[in-house]
């Protein structure tokens, strides 16, 4: 006997709602794109030839930016820590797969000589802090972090944020 359905939203409405969820050109992504453009930087979008298809790619500098939705990528903020009331096992497994895929993409990018920055949806609220973070990431010398690592200044830190 099937379990009672806890979700009161009709199936057709739920399908319509889920289809409306975008993976590209989201509000947080557009905020990051405007900031990068305002810094005078030019980029390519969603390069499928790179691991994880980064949201913004700065090929000349070998740098990429991912803009992650807190819920979909399992951030540890209030929004990311929410658990759906229905079909919890499905969503927990899906978010765990997303996190594993994200980690693998970041590792592959680093191994291929790319530097990556992860911007979480919740971090787009304070635009000035985000602008400075993106500027620092894009303007950092490719050898600066290696020098800091050798001197011990960055012990336990990585150039991949998140």
Domains of the chain in sequence order: 22-141 (3.40.960.10)
Full-model pTM: 0.76
Please compute the mean of the pLDDT values over residues 62-66 and round it to a whole number.
98
Per residue in 72-123, pLDDT (tens digit) is 999 999 888 888 888 889 999 999 999 999 999 999 999 999 999 999 999 9
Considering the chain, what is the average pLDDT of its residues? 83
Is the separation of the CB atoms in 36 and 117 below 8 Å? no
- Measured CA to CA, the distance from residue 81 to residue 15 in angstroms comes to 23
């Amino acid at each position: 006997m099937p379990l009672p359905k806890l979700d009161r939203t009709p199936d057709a409405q739920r399908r319509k709602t889920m289809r409306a969820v975008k993976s590209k050109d989201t509000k947080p992504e557009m905020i990051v794109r405007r900031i990068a453009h305002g810094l005078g930087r030019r980029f390519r979008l969603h390069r499928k030839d790179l691991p994880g298809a980064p949201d913004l790619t700065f090929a000349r500098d070998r740098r990429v930016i991912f803009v992650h939705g807190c819920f979909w990528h399992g951030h540890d903020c209030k929004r990311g820590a929410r658990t759906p009331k229905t079909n919890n096992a499905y969503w927990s497994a899906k978010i765990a797969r997303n996190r594993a895929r994200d980690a693998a993409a970041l590792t592959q990018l680093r191994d291929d000589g790319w530097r990556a920055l992860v911007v979480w949806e919740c971090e787009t609220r304070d635009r000035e802090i985000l602008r400075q973070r993106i500027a620092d990431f894009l303007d950092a010398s490719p050898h600066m972090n290696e020098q800091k690592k050798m001197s011990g200044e960055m012990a336990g830190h990585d150039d991949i944020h998140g």
